[in-house]
Structure 1
Amino acid sequence: MDNFSSDYNSTTAGSGKMDPTAIMEQVKIQIAVANAQELLQRMTDKCFKKCIGKPGNSLDNAEQKCIAMCMDRYMDTWNTCSRTYNSRLQRERARM
């Protein structure tokens, strides 16, 4: 949030008005960061539950392979869903 407040201050300095374009860019960045954090958290939770039977100090080969494959599948699924969602949004916007 420190970046946002400093950008906010720079957009209001001098003119007393907020720059809507700069604010929208900050919002987009914050949404992208939140989405990346959510992706990482969900992927970690699901793949850990699926692949780690007995947590220990290290992962054996089977656990490492399982986690790698799980993460790859999760990323592929996430990307497919994101592309489909974006395509649907574009179609809906085109109708308006």
Structure 2
Amino acid sequence: MDSNQLASLTSAQKEEIMQTVQAQVALANMQELLSKVTDKCFKKCITSPGSSLGSSDQKCISLCMDRYMDCFNLTSRVYTQRLQRERGRM
């Protein structure tokens, strides 16, 4: 979309585009999070891969994923609050 097309959009259309972009960014962030959690927790917890997970492996993976999710949620919440404050200043 070029600048002329963008300028001719209504505010509702611009808002719809922004919501679509935000949803796509959120999806990409979740995919990246899942990829990182899988990679990091597997490397940390699975020392000798086999056909099944032992109870200590399962516990390690569960705790690792919980820590990642807690950190991700905290970071997301702080980032969202910061964006809201900056929007309030505009």
TM bin, normalised by shorter chain, reads 0.7 to 0.9
After superposition, the CA RMSD in angstroms is 1.9
Q: When the two structures are superposed, what TM-score results if normalisation uses the length of structure 1?
A: 0.72
Counting matched residue pairs gives 80
> What displacement does 1:94 show?
2.2
Deviation at 1:77, TM superposition (A): 0.7
Which one scores higher on RCO, CA 8 angstroms, separation ≥ 6?
2
CA distance in 1 between counterparts of 2:51 and 2:74 reads: 34
**1:39: how far off?**
0.9
What amino acid sits opposite 2:80 in the alignment?
N
Matching residue's letter, 2:25: I
Is 1:23 aligned with 2:14?
Answer: no
Partner of 2:60: 66
The reply on whether 1:36 has 2:30 as its aligned counterpart is yes
3-state SS in 2 of match to 1:27: helix
Residue 48 in structure 1 maps to residue 51 in structure 2: no
Gaps of 5+ in 2: 1-8
Query: Any unmatched runs of 5+ in structure 1?
Result: 1-16
TM-score (norm 2): 0.76
What's the % identity of the aligned pairs? 59
